[in-house]
Amino acid sequence: MKKILVMACMMFGSTLATNATGTKMATKAPGDKSSKTLASSRAKHLSDQMIRGLHLNNYQSEKIREINLKVAEQITAIEEENAGDQSKIDALSNKVYAQRDRFLENVLSTVQYNDYYGHRKDYTAMDKEFAANADEEENTGEATASTSER
């Protein structure tokens, strides 16, 4: 039944969203909500920007969301595991970004991929800025919550 449903969805130009988990979150408890929430928010934000900027169709949009979720989970884990060691974060992150590039090459058209490749530093910077802002909001929210409890 599941195979039939998947095949039917693929025939109509869309795919079912799949759960792209499997990345370990070493510094926080497995399944930590804040890590998963941050990764999910990062992936959604970046995907939305890429979908608009690269003019993706429905199939490509779903694939980009899956890829970006997996990448965001890996990057978030790298940042948590290596907090304070920016050079190690950068080195490990670059490997993940290179892997993403290979995945995107199979999803995007040649024109779209060339456009992405020319702007990938912008996408990466946008993602880092979003993550930094989300982290600040989370820390501010926790501080506000603890002072309001008194």
Instruction: Name every residue whose Cβ is closer than 8 Å to that of residue 127 and which is 6 or more positions away in sequence.
Output: 42, 45, 46, 72, 75
- 89-101 in b/e burial notation, b at 16+ Cβ within 10 A? beebbeebbeebe
Stretches in the chain below the pLDDT threshold 50: 1-31, 142-150
Predicted pLDDT at 67:
97
Predicted pLDDT at 140:
63
- Stated pTM of the model: 0.69
* Cα(133)–Cα(24) distance, integer angstroms: 23
If we measure between CA atoms, which residue out of 46, 56, 54, 59 comes closest to residue 12? 59
Question: Tens digits of per-residue pLDDT, 59-99?
Answer: 999 999 999 999 999 999 999 999 889 999 999 999 999 99
